[in-house]
Chain A
Amino acid sequence: MNLQEMIYVTCFLFFTGISGIVLNRNNLLIVLMSIEVMLLAVNLNFMVFSVQFDDMVGQICVLFVLAIAATESAIGLAIICTYNTVKDNIQF
């Protein structure tokens, strides 16, 4: 598998995430999941380039991004929970 094809995969994954946000009508959970997908696509991209250029920095970034993705989804879920207690649903 060469670089070009890898990038196609990651791009496709990223755009899938984006489309999930854009085309999603009213489900907040799907939005959060789509964001996770996007972050994973970015992570995968980092990995690909890290391997391609034989550089550690990319993998370190991936670790940071994973951490940030975890916190982000935690906070996002917390917001959705609060939203649910206030509005009694998670539609927006």
Chain B
Amino acid sequence: MYLLIIFLPLFGFILAGFFGRYVGSKGSTSLSFVCVLFSFFCSIFCFYETVICHCFVFIRLNSWINFELLNVDWGFMFDSLTSIMCCVVSFISTLVHLYSVEYMANDPHLSRFMSYLSLFTFFMLILVTSDNFVQMFLGWEGVGLCSYLLINFWFTRVQANKAAIKAMILNRVGDLGLIIGLLLIFLTFKSLDYSTVFSMVPLLCNTPISFLNMKFHTLDLICFFIFVGAIGKSAQLGLHTWLPDAMEGPTPVSALIHAATMVTAGVFLLVRCSCMFEHCFHIRSFITVIGASTAFFAATVGLVQNDLKKVIAYSTCSQLGYMIFACGLSNYSVGVFHLSNHAFFKALLFLGAGSVIHAIGDEQDMRKMGGLKNLIPFTYSIILIGSLALAGFPFLTGFYSKDLILESAYGCFTSLGHYGYYLGVSSAFLTAYYSTRLLFLTFLSKPNGFRSMYEQSFDSSYFICAVLSILAVPSIFVGFFTKDLLVGFGTDIWSNTIYVAPENMSLLDGEFIPFPFKIAPVCFSFLGIGCCFLLYIYQPKFLFYIKTTKFGLMFYSFFNKKWYIDKIYAEILGQKVLNISYNLSYKLVDRGVFEILGPYGFTNIIYNFSNYLNKLQSGYLNHYVYVFLVGLLLSFCFYGLFFSISCLGLTQQFLVFDFLKMIFFFILSLFLFS
């Protein structure tokens, strides 16, 4: 039953991937969908057993790597965190499978698409269910790989290729950090099992280690490198640039990978390793700063994006920042709560956006939309629900988790907590603003597109509508219904999964913060919504005026170009690295030094030397005689030398000729006659 959760998607992948040619696109879609659906049912069961009944499950299949100290098993562990992740992943994945049936119906490679989706689900489930770091890393790399395959699904498009490579490489930067972290874990704990490592953490938290000739606490270093991995996967500031570009893939992919599941792997890792992070104050501060900054940064950038999907992508980035800084402030359960809530409404938003794009002939630019409210009312209502949930409208899903994150951030009463709180509140304002802007530009404003587009626009058919309406339900209700379960006062479902040091607990303090700070996030959300509404309905000319002033244009392009971070990366890092790798390592070292020292230079030396030797044969008799004599003399000299060495002391008596004098005579005679 438990293994079915994981291996049904793999089965679906094999069916759709290897036998898609025989079963056809309809066959492969339905087969893989059924597999994922049953996987979802199993995870519901798993959720019941592990979360409701508090019954943890360990399944150890087989030994994978086993020599000396290193012992890695194929082990699966189902605790509350895992089963929540399993439910979210398989639920979203099931719906995305169903959605793709219609959305990708005319694609010739549908079975390949389905197989990739199933493979992604499989790797994500491997990631969340593993009971050791190595298997987790397998899933980690696997979702990266599937992300590459899926972004690059339309492989004939250059932009898709570039985006996929970017995603893969930026993820790989983080993966390198994670690998270093895992190696350090093995070095310190001599094990890679979660159970062993986590139980040994309090014992070894102050052991020093020398890294790059500097002294560190081992655990600080481990946590830092694990967080580097999380930065890459969860698109935090620094390695975030791949996430918006990943929108080049089909929309269901964006919904599945870049909204609901893959990017949450970083948060999952932080929560999973909570008992390590609890011992590293400095690293948690770093996490808080990075997370809060990402939330704010992505919100400002999302404010002025014109691509429908990019706006949602930046809101994903921003919400991930919320989750990360919640984890940094030790509110891991809140992070997970926001993660699961966010998965629902973000998938809803993305799939709704896909429905919009589908309806108007694959146009993604919001400036060419507008006035779609009456043409596609169902999609409008869906996106309205999603946007309100995202903006933290009271009593929708997003409200519960986002408010809780901000409250407990303020409840820390540290400067870091306040940093997170203020940035979080301001990005809540920005989030509400750009969500409303998205709604307005797409649905409410005057039509800006072509007439033919409007004539052909229509709400999608059964599958897409079914998926959207199914997703709308948890987007509205799941926050309310799971709040007490996941983050309620004294909830015991996180028994051993999450460890929070008693001095770091701020969830309760969050309940008693001053009222203005408690109400501020909602107020600012409303303010954002209201601002956007007023500006876009009554004062669009004012907005235009602001944008066209010199100062406003500067700001606009600064945000629109993503704070120029992409530009900086491309021009300062990427171009320089490429130049170095061409000029230095290729031209200078590989084709330069090595060739000169190696084959090319060696043959050259031999050739030149033999040419030189050839020139000695000049054809003149006197030259020959001269060379002959020199050779004779040298051989005499060596003979004399060795002879004199071989019979030390007796030399002078036995030598009739004094060779040195002979040489002297020879040279003298040469000078005489020359």
CB 8 Å contact bits of B619-661 with A (1 = contact, 0 = none) = 0011001100100000000000000000000000000010000
Please give the distance in Å from B87's CB to the nearest CB on chain A.
101
B622 and A21 form a contact (CB under 8 A): yes
CB neighbours of A86 from chain B (8 A):
none
For B666, give the chain A residue with the smallest CB separation. A15
Is B672 part of the binding interface, using a Cβ–Cβ cutoff of 8 Å?
yes
CB 8 Å contact bits of A79-92 with B (1 = contact, 0 = none) = 00000000000001
Query: Which residues in chain B, 14-55, are within 8 Å of chain A measured between CB atoms?
Result: none
CB neighbours of A92 from chain B (8 A):
621
CB neighbours of A18 from chain B (8 A):
625, 629, 666, 669
CB neighbours of A23 from chain B (8 A):
622, 670, 673-674
Q: A22-B626, A22-B629, A23-B674 are in contact. Are A16 and B669 (CB under 8 A)?
A: yes
How far apart are the CA atoms of A11 and B666 in the complex, in Å? Answer: 9
Is B600 part of the binding interface, using a Cβ–Cβ cutoff of 8 Å?
no
How far apart are the CA atoms of A18 and B628 in the complex, in Å? Answer: 11
Is B58 part of the binding interface, using a Cβ–Cβ cutoff of 8 Å?
no
How far apart are the CA atoms of A20 and B673 in the complex, in Å? Answer: 8
CB 8 Å contact bits of A33-47 with B (1 = contact, 0 = none) = 000000000000000
Q: A31-B621, A92-B621 are in contact. Are A22 and B670 (CB under 8 A)?
A: yes
Is A64 part of the binding interface, using a Cβ–Cβ cutoff of 8 Å?
no
Chain B interface mostly: helix
A22 and B622 form a contact (CB under 8 A): yes
How far apart are the CA atoms of A16 and B670 in the complex, in Å? Answer: 9
B629 and A11 form a contact (CB under 8 A): no
Is A24 part of the binding interface, using a Cβ–Cβ cutoff of 8 Å?
yes
Please give the distance in Å from B496's CB to the nearest CB on chain A.
98
A19 and B621 form a contact (CB under 8 A): no
For A28, give the chain B residue with the smallest CB separation. B621
A11 and B662 form a contact (CB under 8 A): yes
For A11, give the chain B residue with the smallest CB separation. B665
A12 and B626 form a contact (CB under 8 A): no
CB neighbours of B672 from chain A (8 A):
19
How far apart are the CA atoms of A16 and B668 in the complex, in Å? Answer: 10
Please give the distance in Å from A71's CB to the nearest CB on chain B.
21
For A31, give the chain B residue with the smallest CB separation. B621
CB neighbours of A24 from chain B (8 A):
622
A21 and B625 form a contact (CB under 8 A): yes
Contacting residue for B669 out of A19, A25, A31, CB 8 A: A19
Please give the distance in Å from A4's CB to the nearest CB on chain B.
9
Chain A interface mostly: helix
Q: Which of A23, A25, A31 has the most CB of B within 10 A?
A: A23
Please give the distance in Å from A20's CB to the nearest CB on chain B.
8
How far apart are the CA atoms of A31 and B620 in the complex, in Å? Answer: 12
How far apart are the CA atoms of A33 and B387 in the complex, in Å? Answer: 115
For B627, give the chain A residue with the smallest CB separation. A22
Contacting residue for A15 out of B622, B626, B657, B669, CB 8 A: B669
How far apart are the CA atoms of A23 and B669 in the complex, in Å? Answer: 10
For A34, give the chain B residue with the smallest CB separation. B625
Please give the distance in Å from B498's CB to the nearest CB on chain A.
97
How far apart are the CA atoms of A31 and B621 in the complex, in Å? Answer: 10
Please give the distance in Å from A8's CB to the nearest CB on chain B.
8
Please give the distance in Å from A29's CB to the nearest CB on chain B.
13
How far apart are the CA atoms of A92 and B619 in the complex, in Å? Answer: 10
How far apart are the CA atoms of A4 and B673 in the complex, in Å? Answer: 24
CB neighbours of B670 from chain A (8 A):
19, 22-23
How far apart are the CA atoms of A24 and B622 in the complex, in Å? Answer: 7
CB neighbours of A22 from chain B (8 A):
622, 625-626, 629, 670, 673
For B626, give the chain A residue with the smallest CB separation. A22
CB neighbours of B626 from chain A (8 A):
22
How far apart are the CA atoms of A12 and B626 in the complex, in Å? Answer: 17
Please give the distance in Å from B35's CB to the nearest CB on chain A.
96
CB neighbours of A20 from chain B (8 A):
673
Please give the distance in Å from B77's CB to the nearest CB on chain A.
93
Please give the distance in Å from B532's CB to the nearest CB on chain A.
103
CB neighbours of B669 from chain A (8 A):
12, 15-16, 18-19
How far apart are the CA atoms of A26 and B666 in the complex, in Å? Answer: 22
How far apart are the CA atoms of A56 and B576 in the complex, in Å? Answer: 89
Q: A15-B669, A16-B669 are in contact. Are A21 and B621 (CB under 8 A)?
A: yes
Q: A31-B621, A92-B621 are in contact. Are A19 and B673 (CB under 8 A)?
A: yes
For B622, give the chain A residue with the smallest CB separation. A22
How far apart are the CA atoms of A7 and B626 in the complex, in Å? Answer: 23
Please give the distance in Å from A42's CB to the nearest CB on chain B.
14
CB neighbours of A31 from chain B (8 A):
621
Please give the distance in Å from A90's CB to the nearest CB on chain B.
13
Q: Which of A11, A15, A18, A22 has the most CB of B within 10 A?
A: A22
How far apart are the CA atoms of A19 and B668 in the complex, in Å? Answer: 10
Q: Which of B626, B669, B672, B673 has the most CB of A within 10 A?
A: B669
How far apart are the CA atoms of A92 and B618 in the complex, in Å? Answer: 13
Please give the distance in Å from B626's CB to the nearest CB on chain A.
5
For A12, give the chain B residue with the smallest CB separation. B665
How far apart are the CA atoms of A11 and B656 in the complex, in Å? Answer: 13
Q: Which of B621, B662, B665, B674 has the most CB of A within 10 A?
A: B621
How far apart are the CA atoms of A7 and B629 in the complex, in Å? Answer: 19
CB neighbours of B674 from chain A (8 A):
23
CB neighbours of A21 from chain B (8 A):
621-622, 625
CB neighbours of B665 from chain A (8 A):
11-12, 15
How far apart are the CA atoms of A20 and B621 in the complex, in Å? Answer: 12
How far apart are the CA atoms of A63 and B147 in the complex, in Å? Answer: 102
CB neighbours of B662 from chain A (8 A):
11
Please give the distance in Å from A86's CB to the nearest CB on chain B.
17
Please give the distance in Å from A31's CB to the nearest CB on chain B.
7
CB neighbours of B657 from chain A (8 A):
7
CB neighbours of B666 from chain A (8 A):
15, 18
Please give the distance in Å from B655's CB to the nearest CB on chain A.
12
For B619, give the chain A residue with the smallest CB separation. A92
How far apart are the CA atoms of A16 and B625 in the complex, in Å? Answer: 14
How far apart are the CA atoms of A7 and B662 in the complex, in Å? Answer: 11
How far apart are the CA atoms of A75 and B265 in the complex, in Å? Answer: 101
How far apart are the CA atoms of A23 and B674 in the complex, in Å? Answer: 7
For B632, give the chain A residue with the smallest CB separation. A18
Please give the distance in Å from B663's CB to the nearest CB on chain A.
11
CB neighbours of A15 from chain B (8 A):
665-666, 669
Q: Could you list 21 A-B pairs, sorted by A, with CB under 8 Å?
A: A11-B662, A11-B665, A12-B665, A12-B669, A15-B665, A15-B669, A16-B669, A18-B629, A18-B666, A19-B669, A20-B673, A21-B621, A21-B625, A22-B622, A22-B625, A22-B629, A23-B622, A23-B670, A23-B673, A24-B622, A25-B622
Question: A11-B662, A24-B622, A25-B622 provided; 17 other pairs, C-beta below 8 A?
Answer: A7-B657, A11-B665, A15-B665, A15-B666, A16-B669, A18-B625, A18-B666, A18-B669, A19-B669, A19-B670, A20-B673, A21-B622, A21-B625, A22-B629, A22-B670, A23-B670, A92-B621
Q: Which 3 A-B pairs have the closest CB atoms?
A: A15-B669, A23-B673, A19-B673
